[in-house]
Amino acid sequence: MLPIARVGPGGSSLLEAIFTATSAVCVTGLVVVDTATHWTPFGQVVIMLLIQVGGLGIMTFVSVVGLSVLRKMSLRSRITAAAEVKSVGLEDVRGLVLGVVGTSVLIELCVAVVLSLRFLFGYGEPLGRALWLGLFHAVSSFNNAGFALFSDNMISYATDPWVCLPLAAAVILGGLGFPVLVQLRRYPRLPRKWVMNTRLVLAGTVVLLVAGAVYLTAVEWSNPSTLGPLGWSDKILVGFFQSVQARTAGFNSIDWGQMDSASLLGTDVLMLIGGGPAGTAGGIKITTFAVLFFVLVAEIRGEGTVTVFGKQLARSVQRQAITIVLIAVAVIAFSTVILMLLTDFSLDALLFEVISAFATVGLSTGITAAIPPGGQVVLMLLMFIGRLGPIAFASALALRQRPSAFELPIERPIIG
């Protein structure tokens, strides 16, 4: 709210400042003011620092919570888990934090160098400006925030692979999660040593990225307001880029307000699923969706147990996945109804906005700033709940397990 943070006289309003701060620290990317023209360089630095703190904080917090969950497990389970991830010790929180910070900084610097060189030599930006653009967008992309220093976000660079692909790579790496990055670094060519979490996240990421790119490109191929005027190679690039961003990043290289309703609905699904756990992505997480998928497969086959990659899935994990998904659907439905009562926007646009906020994506059809203050407060709560809620709730479910001293008689209602 300081006057030094805003272009022009005076400071930003409380709602503008707190909405932007919430969106940045929850690494979402929804905005009510133009990041490029409303905020001064000082204000933009504050936003970048909030994004960095939010991204590092989430990865560190989830990883430490994971250690806490391990300590609540039986000694045999703890030894098995530690052996699978080749942990140096369940108490090595300091090493864990340093690993998160080191990995993040290394990836961000690599992406920043590529982007800075492109802005410097490809677009003739002054050296200082090019370095700043490279650093800001590297931090924003790896942390899946989606904030951009251009008024049209990335639309001006939609067909430039030297800008879009580094951003997409950073988004994907940030969305994989720290545990997956560690295993890939240790065993890049030994998939047999990857634990179930790594295999689920990698397989799910590839499938969703490809499926999302094919779906969005096909639906929008002839849309004159989006992909229609582009050449076939540019259409593929834009379709892939937007499929990546739907995985909780939030950069847009086309106008989502002009997208077909089918594209919005398909993106809703991608946003809700999100990325990997213990990373900068949001959503219910790939692992949660994968667990439900394998439960469905086992039920259709009539199998008594759920198996994933040759291992049996604990029933407690199945219940946790079902619980998280049902709560997420309830929060999204309730929030959408509230916004429908407060605004006159279509259901497509409002549902898209709500899921984008809850899954900490940041994509929008352009209605965020036009939503009344009460609706913007709802979006802020959704960003906060979506960022911390599933993590806290899932860890609480895992930590409060207690054995039952008896079993009640079994009975079942008619299903279907």
User: What is the SS3 assignment for 135?
Assistant: helix
User: What is the SS3 assignment for 91?
Assistant: coil
Query: Which pTM value belongs to this model?
Result: 0.88
Return d(Cα 318, Cα 138) in angstroms, integer. Answer: 36
Q: In degrees rounded to 5, what are phi and psi of residue 329? A: -65, -40
What is the secondary structure of 335-379 as a DSSP string? HHHHHHHH----HHHHHHHHHHHHTT----SS-GGGS-HHHHHHH
Q: Which of 86, 100, 96, 48 is nearest to 186 (CA)?
A: 86
Domain ranges of the chain: 3-399
- List the pLDDT tens digit at each of the 416 positions of the chain: 999 999 988 899 999 999 999 999 999 999 999 999 999 999 999 999 999 988 887 777 666 666 555 555 444 444 444 444 434 344 455 666 777 788 889 999 999 999 999 999 999 999 999 999 999 999 999 999 999 999 999 999 999 999 999 999 999 999 998 888 888 888 888 888 888 889 999 999 999 999 999 999 999 999 999 999 999 999 999 999 999 999 888 899 999 999 999 999 999 999 999 998 877 888 999 999 999 999 999 999 988 889 998 888 888 888 888 988 999 999 999 999 999 999 999 999 999 999 999 999 999 999 999 999 999 999 999 999 888 776 666 666 665 666 667 788 888 788 77
